[in-house]
Amino acid sequence: MSRRTPAEYADTSSWSYHVDDRFYAELARQSALLREDWPDAGVAEIVEAQSFLAREARLVDVGRFNDWLEQFTDDCLYWVPVTAGAGDPTVEVSHAFDDRRRLTDRVYWLRTGLAFSQIPASRTRRLIGNVETTVDPVTDERLIRSTFVVHELRAGVTKTYPGWYGHVLRRTGDGWRIKLKQVNLLESDQIHENLTLVF
Amino acid sequence: MTVSRDLPAVAPAPGRTDYAALVREDRVHRSVYTEQHIFDEEMVKVFGGRSWVYLAHESQLPEPNSFRSVRMGLRPVIVTRDRRGDLHAVFNRCSHRAATLCREESGTAKSFQCPYHGWTFRNTGELVGTPWPKGFGPSFDKSEHGLHKVARVESYRGFVFGTLNESAPSVVDWLGPAAGWLDYWVDRAPGGEVVVRSAAHRMGYRGNWKLAYDNAGDGYHPAFSHRSLLEMASRMGDAKDMAYFGRSPDEGPMRTYMLGNGHSVIDQRPNYDGPGSFWANQRPQPGREWFEEKIRAEHGADADRLLDLTIGSQINLSIFPNLLVIGNQIQVIEPLGVDRTQLTWHATTIGGVPPEVNTMRMRTQEDFPAFGEPDDQANFEEVQRGLAAPEAEWVLMNRGLDVPGWQEVGPDGVVSSTATDELHMRRYYAAWLEMMSEGTAR
Ligand code: FES
Ligand SMILES: [Fe+2]
């Protein structure tokens, strides 16, 4: 966090002081970086990235949303853009632009048992491939790019959502944490039904 | 009460439907949501054949020769500006052998060349070129083969409407008192400058288009349909925006107003008090605390106004049949089939404010499409499933009917009632019935 967050706003599941102009500028920089050509990564880095993604995918697919939430940093963003190529979130809406507080809201909302769009709840299972990884030269954070297909069954209907993920991970004393998860849906700017599942 | 009449056991042939038997004072027949032939007739009569439909916003056609592809009912239509900037709308349907001419969503073009055999049309519809013209006989007259034109296109405060009916009243007359509510919505923006952004939530549901229109004027459902959102909002203590729908809204100050021709509005503003109140009651958006501190530090006494501009208008304005002005969004109902609909939520920015105000508008406009509207649409789909039972014939719209003291006539002649009154449905179905019955044997 580039600017000092006042102590009373330190708990980012309740407050969002840190999502400021610099936050948006950094997001634009890393979003562009996620679209660049990267050098080949070593086998160890690829395997590490793959196992991180597989574990995260499993937490979502089995509905362990509280555990999934714990994978994110305090200054995280879970971002599902509408515009193909991600666009400019300062003047465009997204399907999800969740800072820590809103992501906590989302998980809370899913677990109220009152969201009719999730009664019955989505069952999902996702495949992730084409994993690439590199390091952000500015922040030293780990960047991962992957292709996904999410299969969803809800209310007797099976749907398929293809796209690609961009992850920015930060190393903590407790392993990798997600600073940014960008979900680029192939059909993000087209008609879609009930996007309340978690990507 | 309307006298009870039995319906014929067999659905009548298309074009001969007795619509008056399907719409009663307190109820409407399930078939208007389920029957293909009724839908087909609606797509002609309700969506442009008799009256106006919303096509586009002028900010989506920013310069001379701009165009935008839309639908008018099921008809593919191109809304254009000519070289002087005047608005037109033509069918996106080649007069040769029917291919669509324009396959882009928007852009600028002086003319359109059909990709199939190369016929070229001006952006006002005239046919100007047919490749290898010697192949057409002497009776071929180019002036007879222009694109089918939408007979009239008119704009009110940036909202562009079209009709195929030459003798329709002007848009402003047809809007009637709804025009004043559009004025309020537009004039919230400094200088009235509203810009529709390219990113939109295009939500599809498996149900009839009228389920969206029924719901848009429904102040009865929020306390129940939106329980998940209200519960989420109270995660951190005090209840926020919309909680007043749950606290016996019939005793509160909120009203619904009938604006004629099927239009209506729910006014939520009386639930708020004074500048800064919209902002104070909004569920928290990303970046809220930093933004508020910055706006208050830089704008002093003007801060409350700017903060409120990041929040919706607190009116739900329904312009029949396909335009819903809610929050800061322009929603368009786009029927795709009798049981399939697209509801597009166009997000807007405004002129004359610091850029971070528009960024906060984006964050606010993501809230309801994520945590509110999906629950509505889940209920629309479940209504459509419920409607599959043919023996249960009626959908009720009787709340508020004959309830003493609910409906009032204002000094302007506008009838209003408490927001949970189903008067919105009763009134728009009367307009629907009039349109659908015109030109049919009754
Ligand atoms: S269909 Fe357009 S030129 Fe033939
Ligand atoms: Fe609703």
List strand residue ranges (DSSP E) for chain A, in order.
72-81, 94-98, 123-135, 142-154, 157-172, 175-185
Contacts of A108 in chain B (CB under 8 A): 232, 235
> Does B284 sit behind a cis peptide bond, omega within 30 degrees of 0 on the bond before it?
no
Whether residue B366 and residue A83 make contact (CB cut-off 8 A), yes or no, is no
Residue B312 confidence (pLDDT) above 80: yes
At B405, which amino acid appears?
G
Q: Helix or strand or coil: residue B300? A: helix
Q: Helix or strand or coil: residue B258? A: strand
**Stretch A97-114: mean pLDDT, rounded?**
96
- What pLDDT is stored for residue B239 in this prediction? 62
Residue B1 confidence (pLDDT) above 50: no
Domain ranges of chain B: 58-160, 175-434
- What pLDDT is stored for residue B4 in this prediction? 43
pLDDT tens digits, A38-90? 999 999 999 999 999 999 999 999 999 999 999 999 999 999 999 999 999 99
End-to-end CA distance of chain B: 21
**Stretch A118-122: mean pLDDT, rounded?**
96
Among B103, B116, B121, B142, the mutation site with the greatest number of ligand 1 atoms within 8 A of its Cβ is B116
**Stretch B302-317: mean pLDDT, rounded?**
98
Nearest CA in chain B to A3: B290
**Stretch B344-363: mean pLDDT, rounded?**
98
pLDDT grade for B195, boundaries at 50, 70 and 90: very high
To the nearest whole number, what is the mean pLDDT of chain A?
Answer: 96
ipTM (interface predicted TM): 0.97
- What pLDDT is stored for residue B196 in this prediction? 98
pLDDT tens digits, B218-265? 999 999 999 999 999 888 876 667 777 777 778 888 999 999 999 999
pLDDT tens digits, A75-87? 999 999 999 999 9
Of B204, B236, B356, the CB nearest to A193: B204
To the nearest whole number, what is the mean pLDDT of chain B?
Answer: 94
- What pLDDT is stored for residue B235 in this prediction? 86
Using the mean position of ligand 2's atoms as its centre, give its distance from the Cα of residue B205 in Å: 14
- What pLDDT is stored for residue B14 in this prediction? 53
| CB B94 less than 6 A from any atom of ligand 1 | yes
Q: What's the CA gap between B247 and A131, in Å, rounded? A: 51
> Does B321 sit behind a cis peptide bond, omega within 30 degrees of 0 on the bond before it?
yes
Pick the CATH number of B58-160 from 3.10.105.10, 3.40.50.1360, 2.102.10.10, 3.40.50.620: 2.102.10.10
Whether residue B199 and residue A82 make contact (CB cut-off 8 A), yes or no, is yes
List strand residue ranges (DSSP E) for B98-151, in order.
106-108, 111-113, 120-122, 127-129
Using the mean position of ligand 2's atoms as its centre, give its distance from the Cα of residue B224 in Å: 9
Q: Helix or strand or coil: residue B260? A: strand
Whether residue B290 and residue A82 make contact (CB cut-off 8 A), yes or no, is no
Ligand nearest to the CA of B219: 2
Q: Kindly list the protein residues that place their beta carbon closer than 5 angstroms to ligand 2, a single-atom ion.
A: B 376
pLDDT tens digits, B334-346? 999 999 999 999 9
Pick the CATH number of B175-434 from 3.40.50.720, 3.30.497.10, 3.90.380.10, 1.10.3720.10: 3.90.380.10
Q: What's the CA gap between B391 and B24, in Å, rounded? A: 18
**Stretch B184-203: mean pLDDT, rounded?**
97
Ligand nearest to the CA of B266: 2
pLDDT tens digits, B87-105? 999 999 999 999 999 999 9
* B216: closest CA of chain A, how far (Å): 18
pTM: 0.95
> Helix count (H) and strand count (E) of chain B?
14, 21
At B287, which amino acid appears?
G
Estimate to the nearest angstrom the gap between the alpha carbon of A137 and the chain centroid: 21
pLDDT tens digits, B374-424? 999 999 999 999 999 999 999 999 999 999 999 999 999 999 999 999 999
Sequence-ordered list of residues with C-beta below 8 angstroms from that of B436, at least 6 positions apart, any chain: B17, B19, B38, B41, B42, B45, B46
Among B94, B102, B103, B136, the mutation site with the greatest number of ligand 1 atoms within 8 A of its Cβ is B94
The DSSP H or E segment spanning B191 is none
- What pLDDT is stored for residue B244 in this prediction? 78
Residue B3 confidence (pLDDT) above 50: no
pLDDT grade for B217, boundaries at 50, 70 and 90: very high
Q: Which domains, from first to last, does chain A contain? A: 53-199 (3.10.450.50)
**Stretch B355-380: mean pLDDT, rounded?**
98
| CB B168 less than 6 A from any atom of ligand 1 | no
- What pLDDT is stored for residue B245 in this prediction? 75
Sequence-ordered list of residues with C-beta below 8 angstroms from that of B230, at least 6 positions apart, any chain: B222, B223, B239, B242, B243, B246
Residue A33 confidence (pLDDT) above 50: yes
Number of Cβ atoms within 10 Å of the Cβ of A85:
11
**Stretch B141-151: mean pLDDT, rounded?**
97
- What pLDDT is stored for residue A196 in this prediction? 97
The DSSP H or E segment spanning B356 is helix B355-365
| CB B115 less than 6 A from any atom of ligand 1 | no
- What pLDDT is stored for residue B234 in this prediction? 87
The DSSP H or E segment spanning A47 is helix A43-61
**Is the Cβ–Cβ distance between B60 and B36 less than 8 Å?**
no
pLDDT grade for B8, boundaries at 50, 70 and 90: very low
List strand residue ranges (DSSP E) for B104-158, in order.
106-108, 111-113, 120-122, 127-129, 152-156
Q: Select from B222, B205, B375, B235 the least CA-distant residue to A115.
A: B375
Of B197, B287, B381, the CB nearest to A16: B287
- What pLDDT is stored for residue A3 in this prediction? 63
Q: Using CA positions, which residue lies closest to atom 3 of ligand 1?
A: B117
